[in-house]
Structure 1
Amino acid sequence: MAREGGEVTATGPAVKPLRILILGGTGFIGPHQVAYALSRGHTVTLFNRGKTNPGLFPTVEKLIGDRNAPDGYKALEGRTWDVVIDNPVQVPRWVREAGAVLAPNVGKYVFVSTLSTYKTRAKIGMTEADVEMLNPPSAPDATEKDASYGERKVRGEMDAKATFGEGKTLIVRPGLIVGPGDLTDRFSYWPIRVEQGGEMLAPGTPDDPVAFVDQRDLTEFIVRLCEQDATGTYNVVGPRAGLSMSEMLYGCKAVTTSDTRFTWVDTDFLLERKLRPYADLPVWMPPRGNSAGWARMDISKAVAAGLTFRPLAETARDTLTYYHAQSPERQAALKAGLAPDREKTVLAEWHARVGR
């Protein structure tokens, strides 16, 4: 399938089939990753608790274990794999505990980290070499009560290198991960709200940059990096040519038949009303101060290694399809974005401010 910039996503069998262990594999980013790896001819084993989507991939080997339980990794003992991909790490000690069992018996460890490990994104065009990272938590069992998500991922990166060795460690730092299957609604809010039509609050200016990565582009890239025997660290976010807030919103509108009208509301006006960028107004972050380069990371290393991007229209359309397949209760309870009444109130206040 063609991708942005004329690249073509690798299809068909890989040159060298791999034995891949995926820790997780049935949540948000796992299913497409598994399906893509299988399509490339790799042998996949899944390790998880067996509670999330247990019916997926009936022909794939599944090992059961709870990473929070004593002897939680027992099912992995004595086994060997070419690659282990660790998708769901929330607690740094999971890396060390997995390594105690796996490090002697695997060729490569892939740690899915985050761009939130960077202490600041004030610089436009930050590369993987811009290593001003957040301070890692000192507590070996740090949880979300002890440290931020980014801080825990910093500790996870450090522990991965220390446990598996830098020569066997691949670190992928994605930005906001979006697409069908997302349960956070951080991107989904926008195509869903656009589809509903009417006057819609658009934050900041039309030229404010935004960035994200479709989970399918991310997971395919990880598999291809494994095929290349890559190590090191990669920033993974897109799209390749950059995207503005207006381009994203009009791109979402293009896959609907809605009559949506966008009203652009000044950043300071929104902040005065304590509307939170990236939460009440997800994806969007005002490009100023420590966030000037938030949506303008350097991804040239990943692109050179084969990162590709599907069109925005595909991501938006598939996100809407996934949303409409959910229960009415789930559709009515978005986890991000403005509530309708709050949006109407802010729009009314904005019109009163600007006199129209």
Structure 2
Amino acid sequence: MDTALVIGGTRFIGRHLVSELLDHGYDVTTFNRGNHDDPFAEDDSVARVEGDRTNDSALEAARAEVDPDAVFDCVAYEPREVRAATEIFSDADAYVYISSGDAYGSEEIPKREGETDLRPCTREQATDDSGETYGNRKAEGDRAIFEAAERGVSAYSVRPCIVYGPHDYTERLDYWIDRVNEYDRIVVPGDGDNLWHRAYVEDVAAALRVVAEEGTPGESYNVGDRRLVTIDEMLELIAGALDTDIELVHAGERELAAADLDYDDFVLYREYPHVLDTDKLADLGWESTPLEEAMTRTVEEHLDSDRDGSEYDPGRDAEERVLGVLDTL
């Protein structure tokens, strides 16, 4: 495969995917509406087609202009969009859809492709754009991939867990990096053993390319760090990248309630562990970045940005009240 069309390609996963493809010799074209700053605007090695991916005619025009060998769909949020794309790009050597670990519909450790049930998706959920139906819509998109492969389309699905890394506009990890950078004592919900599988963004980009080149049509592939860390270990990795010392202070329900807080007020906390099995992807030759290296790159870019994750901030005053309660115990 020589030519790639990246639907999206300017913000987070797509941005890193474009770089990954360029590094591996692809001729890359991005397709998007131009609503966000384009990091490749001055890069002559990246072509661009402007259009709305929800408009099938615009996608057909992009196909005719680019004639891509591989198509990577970073911004398909409704099942209808996946079904349309698999028809429009049915002759491509690979159509790779970014799904989500949230597509899984049952709590198992670990969640495995082809074994763990996917979420159901009603007609109403299929067109609902709320966060509550995100996993349902992604699961139905996966089913559209399976159906397309049965028709002979080289269609694949990649399911990342929580993605982190440079240029993460969601700012979920930025909150914790900012906390560690600003304070010596960090309030951690629960006992510190909370486990929510994460995936370094450059590894997700590599997974998308590897699946297009080596995957089996109609299959889904989980992607996440090969070594999982608890929330405590994540914070220690951040502190190491910042070359600072921190004290992790664990707060239970009673201590948090003293400041009208709950576990769910802290981003990246999940009561039940979320773990994806990544052996299937690793069998294709994919590897993940060592965690210390991934976190160092993430922290370095954070420090150069203006992101602080403040939208997730439970309030330092509230945390100080929690610390005061814990100090009296």
TM-score norm. by structure 2 comes to: 0.87
Partner of residue 309, structure 1: 288
Matches within 5 A, 1:63-142: 63-69=49-55, 71-78=57-64, 80-103=67-90, 105-121=91-107, 123-139=108-124, 142=127
- Range that drifts further, 151-160 or 224-233: 224-233
Matches of 2:297 and 2:34, distance apart in 1: 26
One-letter amino acid of the counterpart of residue 27, structure 2:
T
Q: Deviations over 1:239-281 (max 9, x none)?
A: x23322222211211122434211111257547945243xx32
Mapped partners of 1:347, 1:166: distance in 2: 59
Identity of aligned residues (%): 25
Contact 1:117–1:150 (Cα < 8 Å) also in 2: yes
Q: Distance in 2 between matches of 1:224 and 1:306?
A: 8
Q: TM-score, normalised by structure 1?
A: 0.81
| Deviation larger for 306-315 or 217-226 | 306-315
1:339–1:166 Cα change, 3 Å: farther
Query: Deviations along 1:201-259, whole A, 9 cap, x unmatched?
Result: 01222333342011001101211222224331111112x23322222211211122434
- CA distance in 2: counterparts of 1:271 and 1:83, whole angstroms: 51
Structure 1 residue 23, shift from structure 2 partner: 0.7
1:47 aligned residue: 31
Q: CA deviation at 1:110?
A: 0.6
Give the letter for the 1:46 counterpart.
T
**Rounded Cα–Cα distance in structure 1 between residues aligned with 2:160 and 2:257:** 27
Query: Which of 327, 339, 346 in structure 1 is aligned with 2:315?
Result: 339
The match for 1:18 is 2
Give the alignment of 1:182-331 within 5 angstroms.
182-231=168-217, 232-238=219-225, 240-266=226-252, 269-270=255-256, 273-277=260-264, 280-286=265-271, 291=272, 293-294=273-274, 296-327=275-306, 330-331=307-308
Using a 3 Å threshold, how does the CA distance of structure 1 residues 349 and 141 change in structure 2: closer, same or farther? same
Local SS of the residue matching 1:73: helix
Deviates more, 1:148-157 or 1:57-66: 57-66
CA, structure 1 residues 69+108, in 2 after alignment: closer, same or farther (shift >3 Å)?
closer
Are residues 307 and 205 of structure 1, via their aligned partners in 2, closer, same or farther at CA, if it must alter by over 3 Å? farther
Contact 2:222 2:281 (8 Å CA) reproduced: yes
Select between 88-97 and 40-49 the one with higher mean Cα deviation. Answer: 88-97
Q: Secondary structure at the match of 2:111?
A: coil
How far did 1:59 drift? 2.5
- 8 Å CA contact retained: 2:261, 2:314: no
Query: Deviations for 1:292-312, whole angstroms, at most 9, x for unmatched residues?
Result: x41x33222122223322233
Q: CA deviation at 1:191?
A: 2.2
Give 3-state SS (helix, strand or coil) of 2:228's partner.
Answer: strand
CA RMSD of aligned residues (A): 2.6
Paired residue for 1:62? 48
Amino acid at match of 1:18: D
Amino acid at match of 1:241: R
Give the Cα separation in 1 of the matches to 2:125 and 2:277.
Answer: 32
Whole-angstrom distance in 1 between the partners of 2:191 and 2:131: 36
Deviates more, 1:134-143 or 1:36-45: 134-143
8 Å CA contact 1:92–1:140 kept in 2: the answer is no
Cα pair 2:227 2:291 within 8 Å, conserved: no
The equivalent of 1:162 in structure 2 is: 147
8 A Cα contact 1:109 1:164, kept in partner: no
Query: Partner of 2:310: helix, strand, or coil?
Result: coil
Choose 207-216 or 334-343, whichever is displaced more.
Answer: 334-343
| Amino acid aligned to 1:315 | A
Name the SS of the counterpart of 2:281 in structure 1: helix
CA deviation string 1:157-182 (max 9, x = no partner): 12233345475221111100001110
Unmatched segments (≥5 aa) in structure 2: none
2:6, 2:72 within 8 Å by CA — same for their partners in 1?
yes
Query: Once structures 1 and 2 are overlaid, which stretch shifts more, 193-202 or 94-103?
Result: 94-103
Aligned to 1:14: none
